[in-house]
Amino acid sequence: MDKIWKIGLVGAGRGSSYGNITYRHARFDVVALCDANENTLARYQKELELSDSQCFTDYEKFINSGSMDAVIICTPILYHAEQAVMALESGINVMSEVTASNTIEGCSSIVKAAKKSGKIYMMAENTIYRPVFDEWAKLIESCKLGEIIYAEADYLHPIHALLIDPNTGEKKWRANRPPVHYCSHSLGPILYLTGDRITRAMAVGNTYRILPEAGVGAADIQLAVFETEKNMIIKMTRTQVAPRHYPIHYYHLLGTEGFVETDRFGPDRDTRMQKGLLYLKNDMKHTQLAEWPEIDTSLPDYALLGGHGTCDYSTLLQFLNALDSGKKPVLDEIRAWDMTVPGLIAAESAFHDGKWMDVPLPE
């Protein structure tokens, strides 16, 4: 009989997305919940049908409750490393929301704790599990695009209310996060598809005209450029304040034999299809319109309850596969480093007039 994995959920806000699908999955049993906000905790406690003894406002007590095989961490980024390390050192497997940490030191501590503990660490970078990238992977594997030499990965998402509370004027934690820090939704799919890693980074963008009172998180726009081991160039544009409706992820891959890209509208909300362009030099006379599914219809209906289409559910399945096999997931602590640290280095570059800076390897 397949093992039922006992899960502790940390963060009842964003965590409710993973809680909604984990709670309904036959291979998981949500046995503990932790949130620093008592009202949020109590509200989600009822949905998960947990007793008071299974709910915690103190993370250390939650970890030491002895009831969990694994935790899913969905707290603000500045807590990710500390909470992941504590869990790993306690012999508990970890799936953590993105990005891995807000500091290189935090990323390093995760790598060391995962190695020492022998437990599973997985970063929950859900965008790589969009069905569109399954289709792009086939193009790459068939060599129809040739060698990938350039990529674009823009993420334009104004979040004023998540930077400054509109009712109190109080800064929130994202106000201290430079836009390029939040890079894994952009870099993740590119590095996942190519198997590459970034070696150098630079960025520009250090003006604050739109929401100056919010601080570094409200840089008008930041543009980063990355170089990789395979000599690919990646361009990433990020904003958390500039007007864009709807918010978009835009991706482009250019190879020696063709290119593929998404459009700049995002997935169609009625058809659940992502449109774009495709050109294969050996198969086509000119660029063609293309479209790819945004939803994996092979998954159960409740897979949509995680949000982000079916991506969260597909991410959870990868964690389950790692738990079952005991083998490192694709997005282990090393790939979490590869998809997080370049953004930290790029942000530092932006504060130093776009200076090129090396991206270190994990120790």
The Cα 206–Cα 226 span in angstroms is: 18
pLDDT of residue 1: 66
**Strands (E) located in the chain:** 5-10, 28-34, 55-56, 70-73, 93-96, 121-123, 148-156, 198-204, 222-228, 233-239, 248-255, 258-262, 273-280, 288-293, 357-358
Q: Rounded distance, CA 55 to CA 62, Å?
A: 8
16-44 core/surface letters (b: 16 or more CB in 10 A; e: else): bbbbbbbbebeebebbbbbbbeeebbeeb
Note the pLDDT of residue 15.
87
- Global pTM reads 0.97
Distance CA 194, CA 137 (A): 9
In the chain the domains, ranked by start, together with CATH numbers, are: 5-126+314-330 (3.40.50.720), 128-300+339-358 (3.30.360.10)
* Tokens of residue 214, six digits: 């919010």
Q: What is the pLDDT of residue 307?
A: 85
What is the reported pLDDT for 57?
Answer: 98
Token code pair at residue 25 = 């999955």
pLDDT score, position 160: 98
Residues of the chain with pLDDT under 70: 1
- The answer to whether residues 73 and 11 touch, using CB atoms and an 8 Å cutoff, is yes
